[in-house]
């Protein structure tokens, strides 16, 4: 059994019982899960199932019977020799989270939140989504037997809408931005008692993403990487990855994590955290109308933006952006060197990684982990704008044979 000690306010540190609650009564700060961890060692996890539930003792679900799992996690950490060679890095890894069951890393936080909804006995779940969380929540809701309500901007990719509908979600396509959808989801969640995974269940939700730290640490044979390149929308994932590494250090599963460098990657057109970082400001000024092909990162008012800036300071990090063209080029570079096809969010990571190397902010012998968080099949439209559609040929061997050298 996992023992949660409390929910603790990230700002004023006030502690609360671990209930269906997410905001501090005193200061409105976000609440984080704190644990009384049992004693674990490297062998505890060694022969377990190949999903993130292998770290059950470190996750915020009390009873194993409440787990709602579709088999997510334990995705490959690829030694990216060819991409490394192209960029000039000797020790590059890709965490390929595009191969999760719903094809993005969102299966991690969604699975934890839906399991917690089961533990709380809630009757329905939902989310505010830029696209990928819709499918991740809907799939886990289907598996757990919950009705699911998705609130998302109407202009997200077709494949993402189709996928969420296929799992049976009620899809509310909002004519507006992600921030509009988020506001509506928050009010409906509170008034109807629905577990909105990334809003009123956020304290538990974010715990899923810290498994991106646990897996990388285990896959590197419990070594701390030097650099981590992380795509950032709300900033919840970057923050959770830091928390994950810190928990492993506190459990003596890892050495000192304070020398890691966290690199936040955002798309130009929706890069409020990069803007603040470059101005050396601790205030994130919201982007009113995000404009980027990286729709899963199109969050103009990032909930964890301030905390990402703190993490970048704490971990000697950087924040950098990439243009639409750089994103598309990076998608093709990754696909053509490593055989990994990512959506624009993953292109943002690779494009920013490339910039960091060019600006000599990453040493070529450092161990560097680049997180690729979503699958290319979810966003093919934008890519076809720069690829040429094959011309249809008559089924004639002679003519076609002339095309093959
Ligand atoms: C949601 C999402 C992100 C950003 O995660 P945050 O926790 O919002 O920062 C990155 N990549 C993909 C593919 C996503 O769907
Ligand atoms: Zn507080």
- To test the ligand 1 pocket, which listed residue (102, 103, 105) has its Cβ within 8 A of the most ligand atoms? 105
Cα(7) to centroid(ligand 2), Å: 11
CA–CA–CA angle 328, 177, 293 (5° rounding): 5
Q: 123: which DSSP letter?
A: S
Q: 89-135, pLDDT tens digit by residue?
A: 999 999 999 999 999 999 999 999 999 999 999 999 999 999 999 99
Domain ranges of the chain: 77-103+209-384, 106-206
Contact 113, 139 (CB under 8 A): no
77-103+209-384, CATH topology level: Rossmann fold (3.40.50)
pLDDT at 1 over 70: no
pLDDT at 405 over 90: no
- To test the ligand 1 pocket, which listed residue (266, 373, 377, 378) has its Cβ within 8 A of the most ligand atoms? 373
Q: 197-226, pLDDT tens digit by residue?
A: 999 999 999 999 999 999 999 999 999 999
pLDDT at 51 over 80: yes
Ligand 1: residue whose CA is nearest its atom 4 = 233
Question: What does the alpha-carbon distance between residue 32 and residue 236 come to, in Å, rounded to a whole number?
Answer: 12
Cα(34) to centroid(ligand 2), Å: 15
Question: What does the alpha-carbon distance between residue 169 and residue 132 come to, in Å, rounded to a whole number?
Answer: 13
Name residues contacting ligand 1 (CB within 6 A). 104, 106, 130, 132, 231-237, 296-297, 345, 373-374
Cα(303) to centroid(ligand 1), Å: 12
Atom of ligand 1 at shortest range from CA of 133:
15
Ligand closest to 136 (CA) is 1
Cα(16) to centroid(ligand 2), Å: 10
pLDDT at 6 over 80: yes
Question: What does the alpha-carbon distance between residue 83 and residue 347 come to, in Å, rounded to a whole number?
Answer: 13
Ligand 1: residue whose CA is nearest its atom 5 = 233
Q: 307-353, pLDDT tens digit by residue?
A: 999 999 999 999 999 999 999 999 999 999 999 999 999 999 999 99
Atom of ligand 1 at shortest range from CA of 299:
8
Question: What does the alpha-carbon distance between residue 143 and residue 237 come to, in Å, rounded to a whole number?
Answer: 24
Question: What does the alpha-carbon distance between residue 82 and residue 333 come to, in Å, rounded to a whole number?
Answer: 10
CB neighbour class for 57 (10 Å; exposed up to 12, middle 13-18, buried from 19): middle
pLDDT at 396 over 80: yes
Atom of ligand 1 at shortest range from CA of 106:
15
pTM of the prediction?
Answer: 0.97
CA–CA–CA angle 48, 51, 55 (5° rounding): 60
**Residue 384 CB coordination number (10 Å):** 9
Q: 352-376, pLDDT tens digit by residue?
A: 999 999 999 999 999 999 999 999 9
Contact 95, 121 (CB under 8 A): no
Ligand closest to 349 (CA) is 1
Residue 129: the pLDDT is 96
Q: 99: which DSSP letter?
A: G
Ligand closest to 128 (CA) is 1
Ligand 1: residue whose CA is nearest its atom 10 = 231
Question: What does the alpha-carbon distance between residue 30 and residue 81 come to, in Å, rounded to a whole number?
Answer: 40
Atom of ligand 1 at shortest range from CA of 209:
7
Atom of ligand 1 at shortest range from CA of 230:
10
Ligand closest to 12 (CA) is 2
Atom of ligand 1 at shortest range from CA of 234:
8
Atom of ligand 1 at shortest range from CA of 236:
7
Say if 77-103+209-384 and 106-206 have the same CATH topology: yes
The residue to which tokens 């799939």 are assigned:
139
Cα(207) to centroid(ligand 2), Å: 19
Contact 95, 370 (CB under 8 A): yes
CA–CA–CA angle 111, 116, 118 (5° rounding): 100
Question: What does the alpha-carbon distance between residue 223 and residue 252 come to, in Å, rounded to a whole number?
Answer: 12
Residue 403: the pLDDT is 87
Strand order in the sheet with 261-267: 77-79, 92-96, 368-372, 227-231, 261-267, 318-322
Q: Is residue 231 within a helix (H) or strand (E), and if so which, with residue range?
A: strand 227-231
Closest by alpha carbon to 386, among 328, 314, 331, 310? 328
Cα(49) to centroid(ligand 1), Å: 25
- To test the ligand 1 pocket, which listed residue (112, 136, 237) has its Cβ within 8 A of the most ligand atoms? 237
**Residue 78 CB coordination number (10 Å):** 18
Tell me what percent of the chain is helix, strand and coil, each rounded to the nearest 5: 40, 15, 40
106-206, CATH topology level: Rossmann fold (3.40.50)
Cα(225) to centroid(ligand 2), Å: 33
The average pLDDT across 129-155 equals 97
Ligand closest to 29 (CA) is 2
Question: Whole-number mean pLDDT of the chain?
Answer: 97
Pairing relationship of beta strands 4-9 and 31-35 according to DSSP bridges: antiparallel
The average pLDDT across 14-19 equals 97
User: Which residues surround the ion ligand 2 when the cut-off is CB under 5 Å?
Assistant: 9, 11-12, 14, 24, 26-27, 29
Ligand closest to 110 (CA) is 1
Question: What does the alpha-carbon distance between residue 138 and residue 91 come to, in Å, rounded to a whole number?
Answer: 37
Atom of ligand 1 at shortest range from CA of 232:
9
Q: 278-294, pLDDT tens digit by residue?
A: 999 999 999 999 999 99
Residue 3: the pLDDT is 86
């Amino acid at each position: 059994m996992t023992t949660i000690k409390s929910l603790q306010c990230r700002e004023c540190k006030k502690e609360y019982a671990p209930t269906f609650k997410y905001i501090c009564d005193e200061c409105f700060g976000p609440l984080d899960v704190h644990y009384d961890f049992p004693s674990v060692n490297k062998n505890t996890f060694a022969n377990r199932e190949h999903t993130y539930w292998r770290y059950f003792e470190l996750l915020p679900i009390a009873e194993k019977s409440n787990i709602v799992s579709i088999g997510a996690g334990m995705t490959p950490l690829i030694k990216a020799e060819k991409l490394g060679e192209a960029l000039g890095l000797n020790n590059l890894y890709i965490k390929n989270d595009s191969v999760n069951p719903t094809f993005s890393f969102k299966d991690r936080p969604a699975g934890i939140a839906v399991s917690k909804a089961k533990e709380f006995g809630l009757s329905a779940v939902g989310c505010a989504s830029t696209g990928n969380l819709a499918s991740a929540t809907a799939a886990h809701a289907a598996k757990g037997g919950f009705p699911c309500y998705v609130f998302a901007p109407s202009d997200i990719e077709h494949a993402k809408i189709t996928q969420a509908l296929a799992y049976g979600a009620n899809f509310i396509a909002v004519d507006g931005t992600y921030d509009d959808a988020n506001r509506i989801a928050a009010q409906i969640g509170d008034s109807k008692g629905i577990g909105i995974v990334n809003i009123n269940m956020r304290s538990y939700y974010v715990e899923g993403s810290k498994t991106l730290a646990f897996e990388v640490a285990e896959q590197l044979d419990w070594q701390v990487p030097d650099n981590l390149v992380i795509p950032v929308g709300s900033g919840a994932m970057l923050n959770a990855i830091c928390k994950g590494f810190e928990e492993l250090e506190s459990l003596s599963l890892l050495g000192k994590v304070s020398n890691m460098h966290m690199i936040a990657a955002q798309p130009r057109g929706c890069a409020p955290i990069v803007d603040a970082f470059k101005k050396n400001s601790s205030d994130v000024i919201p982007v009113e109308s995000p404009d980027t092909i990286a729709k899963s990162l199109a969050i103009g008012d990032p909930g964890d933006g301030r905390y990402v800036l703190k993490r970048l300071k704490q971990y000697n990090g950087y924040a950098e952006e990439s243009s639409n063209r750089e994103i598309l080029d990076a998608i093709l570079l990754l696909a053509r060197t490593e055989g990994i096809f990512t959506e624009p969010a993953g292109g943002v990571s690779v494009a920013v990684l490339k910039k960091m190397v060019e600006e000599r902010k990453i040493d070529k012998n450092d161990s560097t982990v680049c997180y690729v968080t979503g699958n290319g099949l979810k966003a093919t439209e934008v890519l076809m704008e720069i690829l040429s559609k094959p011309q249809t040929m008559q089924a004639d061997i002679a003519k076609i044979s002339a095309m093959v050298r």
